[in-house]
Structure 1
């Protein structure tokens, strides 16, 4: 099942939204995406978090930043007592809520870079987590200019932090960083247009107008990973996306993603996800069953946050 596109509501007097959601029992657990960036603090709940093709446990104080149009949900543990609430504090904003060129200004370059990274989803940890949680509780009490300034302070904290972990794989939300130089953009475009077939380092080097040895060194320095690893991550990320649709066999997905045999596909897939393709698919199945039930009731969810 594809994730649902949902519209995030805000008041006419606000350019972005800050909401505290409280549910009796579990979160709705709706697999969805939206055009807004999202910062979510889990105040009370535990369960499984899904961000793109990433799956992990979550507990109270889980703090996650979600990029625009990145599918996600939090699925509460089924053992949760019905009289126990699930609570979350959530901030939503669009990139252009202060004007189309606002984040392109030199002073906000670090925040612009952070927003680019968030297309994979980001887990916030350590001292940054503690500081941002304090600021999120504070922003609930503010209004007007003070509320806006507080959001920018939160984004500045995140942009300057080294205590961040990327969640979803490179291949799940395929995009090109417009701030990367033109040479690397051309290589990215070549990889993304051809990763379903054979991709050779020598061809990528030729596109970059470099020798294979120099290109290999350049690519690893810029991308923080070898060329072959980057290509395999794209393939596995795309495989995750197809597996989550539950429409194709594992063998079909193997060849669709550019792997030449199922054995190598399973090996590469497990090296990146720590799960076999079948295990990955089964882990998502319960989430999709729940999402399908909510899809049938979509009109009734219009005023709810689908955390």
Structure 2
């Protein structure tokens, strides 16, 4: 897919993402009216241009289905293209935006559908209803953004059923949709961890402290033995704990963390790439370029250009 026309007034903000206030989600912006029972699952549909199309984040989860136009998709530090059928779920505080590049001059009345929901009630209910725990791994993964493939027709059916229902019926269809998404095999994670990659504090206290330490000192000469020693662990115990809790080796996680921080600097700062390389802890530009390319599939300079000019 190669979009050939300029975006119709919807361009990437050259600043940090804005935070969306849930209180502003009203019918004037395309959100469906809500009752007390529908506040967990809100629906919105909009075209382009729209005030909802901007580089932003919020505390809720969002399932986003594109139904018309093509363009560029930004999720965390991921940059890619989208077309009709694009289906993505984003987690809390993960910045995102979709910018149409082939919309006609007058825009389109309907570009995408969104379902916005809060995880808190699901977590609390899962303590009493064990079956609800089946959808929690999906929500954990969505902290990085998830793109699903070959399910646009099925997703469109669920979106229609959810929007057409209310109360308990809406919640029932919504849970069914989450279960389908959780079992879908054809997907990919989009972004590196965007915020402090800590998980549930009650069960992840150790790894939370370790990752916090790494977030504070990622630019230093960190090594697994040094961090293990700092937390009073043997190297073998630290290695097993870290891999079990994060799914990564210490070295791979540190590289991803440094690349993620580099992405933020490349997007929002004008510092030379050589300076950013040093700022995030790489010892030379050649190593930085090689590691960045392996993680992001493009060079740092290509990432900066793509992020600055979403055409």
Same fold (TM over 0.5): yes
* Distance across 1 between alignment mates of 2:126 and 2:270: 39
Per-residue displacement from partner, 1:35-77 (whole Å, max 9, x unpaired)?
2211010011111100010011111110000111111101111
Contact 1:33/1:69 (8 A) holds in 2: yes
Per-residue displacement from partner, 1:128-152 (whole Å, max 9, x unpaired)?
x553332112212212211121112
1:185 Cα offset (Å): 3.4
Equivalent residue for 1:155? 178
Per-residue displacement from partner, 1:234-280 (whole Å, max 9, x unpaired)?
00001111211134332332222112222222221122112221211
> What SS does the aligned partner of 1:82 have?
coil
Evaluate the alpha carbon distance shift between residue 125 and residue 180 of structure 1 in structure 2; reply closer, same or farther with a 3 A threshold: farther
Evaluate the alpha carbon distance shift between residue 222 and residue 36 of structure 1 in structure 2; reply closer, same or farther with a 3 A threshold: closer
Mapping for residues 153-302 of structure 1, pairs under 5 Å: 153-170=176-193, 172-178=194-200, 181-206=204-229, 210-213=233-236, 215-216=238-239, 219-220=242-243, 222-287=245-310
Contact 2:21/2:58 (8 A) holds in 1: yes
Equivalent residue for 2:71? 47
User: Please, what is the CA RMSD of the aligned residues?
Assistant: 2.7
Equivalent residue for 1:64? 88
1:208 Cα offset (Å): 6.4
Evaluate the alpha carbon distance shift between residue 18 and residue 28 of structure 1 in structure 2; reply closer, same or farther with a 3 A threshold: closer
Evaluate the alpha carbon distance shift between residue 159 and residue 104 of structure 1 in structure 2; reply closer, same or farther with a 3 A threshold: farther
Evaluate the alpha carbon distance shift between residue 61 and residue 199 of structure 1 in structure 2; reply closer, same or farther with a 3 A threshold: same
TM-score normalized by the length of structure 2: 0.80
Evaluate the alpha carbon distance shift between residue 125 and residue 209 of structure 1 in structure 2; reply closer, same or farther with a 3 A threshold: farther
* Distance across 2 between alignment mates of 1:215 and 1:35: 32
Evaluate the alpha carbon distance shift between residue 130 and residue 227 of structure 1 in structure 2; reply closer, same or farther with a 3 A threshold: farther
Contact 1:120/1:173 (8 A) holds in 2: no
User: Is 1:7 the counterpart of 2:21 in the alignment?
Assistant: yes
1:216 Cα offset (Å): 3.5
Q: Structure 1, unaligned stretches of length 5 or more?
A: 291-307
> What SS does the aligned partner of 1:38 have?
strand
Contact 2:122/2:132 (8 A) holds in 1: no
User: Is 1:145 the counterpart of 2:168 in the alignment?
Assistant: yes
Contact 1:4/1:31 (8 A) holds in 2: yes
User: Is 1:19 the counterpart of 2:44 in the alignment?
Assistant: yes
Q: Structure 2, unaligned stretches of length 5 or more?
A: 1-14, 27-32
> What SS does the aligned partner of 2:67 have?
strand
Contact 2:91/2:144 (8 A) holds in 1: yes
The structure 1 segments of at least 4 consecutive aligned residues displaced by more than 6 Å after TM superposition are none
Equivalent residue for 2:131? 107
1:12 Cα offset (Å): 4.9
